[in-house]
Amino acid sequence: MEHCLCYIDIHQFKIINNQAGYVIGNQILQEIAEILRNSTRSIDRVALIQGNEFALLLVDKNLQQAQQVIQLII
């Protein structure tokens, strides 16, 4: 059984916080987390690592399958 750990960095997210404020920034991060959860299976895991960085654990997926999931998310 293979698993894939994906690292997702929301580039230049600091601009959102600086221009719209941290409350709006946090709401957007929650929406991104929801998109990630809705784009994966219940056995997969989504975690906010730090600030604008997420980890996505795709359980029982090989690299090619994980790339397909990530492309759909993007």
Is the pTM here over 0.75, yes or no? yes
Output the pLDDT for position 41: 96
Q: At what angle do helices 13-20 and 22-38 cross, to 10 degrees?
A: 140
Q: What is the CATH number of the domain that holds 27?
A: 3.30.70.270
8 Å CB contact between 69 and 17: no
Q: What is the pLDDT along the chain (74 residues), one digit of tens a residue?
A: 899 999 999 989 999 999 999 999 999 999 999 999 999 999 999 999 998 999 999 999 999 999 999 999 98
Angle, CA 44 vertex, CA 38 and CA 9 arms, to 5°? 75
Q: What per-residue confidence (pLDDT) applies to 42?
A: 96
Domain that includes residue 28, residue range? 4-73
Q: In whole angstroms, give the CA distance from residue 19 to residue 33.
A: 21
Q: In total, how many domains does the chain have?
A: 1
CA distance 69 to 19: 31
Q: Please report how many Cα atoms fall inside a 13 Å half-sphere around the Cα of residue 27, on the Cβ side.
A: 6
What pLDDT was estimated at residue 51? 87
